[in-house]
Amino acid sequence: MAEHQQEMTASPPPPTAPPRSKISMAHFAEKFKEEPMVPIGMGITLGFLGFGVFSFIRGNSVMSQRMMRGRVLAQGVTLAFLMTGAAMQRDKLRRNPQTADKVEQQFQELQATPNRWADAQPYPTPSEQQPRS
């Protein structure tokens, strides 16, 4: 047992990655700069949802219904912002030949890699399963 503990302490510690919260906040900040309307729309949607639930709990069904309708409208607007941003990003990629070539190269590399799931066997059906002993 002592030998096993000695072997464990001799190995170097595994590399550490930055905390996930820092990665996600940096990613969120970058995406917010690129397309600020989507997170704003999400916040408005969340506001309608929260106030609608609050109104429902307090028993104000008229206000709750208005807030839920507002939530649906805010979701639709957010989706429109998302689709507009995706279309603008696509056009931006098409206008920049270096970026378009890079995307095409990445696509070709992706197609050239073997499919690791090609040889996977499907789950057996109940009739194919072996009986338990």
Asked if residue 17 is part of any domain, the answer here is: no
| Residue 73 near residue 41 (C-beta atoms within 8 A) | no
Asked if residue 114 is part of any domain, the answer here is: no
Say which DSSP state 113 is in: S
Q: Taking the CB of residue 74, how many other CB atoms lie within 10 A of it?
A: 20
What tens digit of pLDDT does each residue of 96-108 get? Answer: 777 777 878 887 8
Asked if residue 63 is part of any domain, the answer here is: yes
| Distance separating alpha carbons of residues 20 and 14, to the nearest angstrom | 17
Whole-number average pLDDT of the chain: 78
Asked if residue 77 is part of any domain, the answer here is: yes
Give the largest Cα separation in the chain, rounded.
72
- Residue 39 CB partners (closer than 8 Å, separation 6+): 28, 31, 32
| Residue 69 near residue 63 (C-beta atoms within 8 A) | no
pTM of this structure: 0.53
Asked if residue 72 is part of any domain, the answer here is: yes
What tens digit of pLDDT does each residue of 50-71 get? Answer: 999 999 999 999 999 999 999 9
DSSP result, 33-93: HH-THHHHHHHHHHHHHHHHHHHHHHT-HHHHHHHHHHHHHHHHHHHHHHHHHHHHHHHHH
Asked if residue 90 is part of any domain, the answer here is: yes
Range of the domain at 91: 34-107
Structural domains in the chain (count) = 1
Judged against a pLDDT cut of 90, whether residue 45 lies above it is answered with yes
Asked if residue 78 is part of any domain, the answer here is: yes
